[in-house]
């Protein structure tokens, strides 16, 4: 739904270094969530993974409208 009403949702991402080499990826089913919450949860998950791996410089991009 373009208004971001609660619907089944998921988030995912790809981790790459500064030369675009793949470092890993993540995907997670969020259940029912609105679009904004799904984007925020995806960002939080990416930050948590980067922190656990010791990646101190992080650039987040997302495709939310």
- For residues 2 and 64, which has the higher predicted lDDT (pLDDT)? 64
For residue 2, the model assigns a pLDDT of 52
Assess if residue 57 is contained within a domain. Answer: no
Containing domain of residue 37, as a range? 9-50
pLDDT in tens, 13-62: 999 999 999 999 999 999 988 888 888 999 999 999 999 999 999 999 88
Assess if residue 3 is contained within a domain. Answer: no
Assess if residue 30 is contained within a domain. Answer: yes
State if pTM tops 0.85: no
Assess if residue 17 is contained within a domain. Answer: yes
Q: Does residue 51 contact residue 62 with C-beta atoms inside 8 Å?
A: no
Q: Does residue 24 contact residue 5 with C-beta atoms inside 8 Å?
A: no
Q: Nearest Cα to 27, choosing from 51, 46, 1?
A: 46
How many domains does one find in the chain?
A: 1
């Amino acid at each position: 739904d373009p208004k971001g009403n609660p619907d089944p949702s998921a988030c995912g991402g790809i981790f790459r270094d500064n030369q675009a080499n793949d470092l890993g990826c993540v995907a997670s089913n969020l259940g029912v969530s609105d679009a904004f919450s799904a984007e925020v949860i995806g960002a939080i998950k990416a930050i948590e993974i980067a922190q656990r791996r010791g990646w101190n410089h992080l650039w987040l991009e997302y495709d939310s409208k």
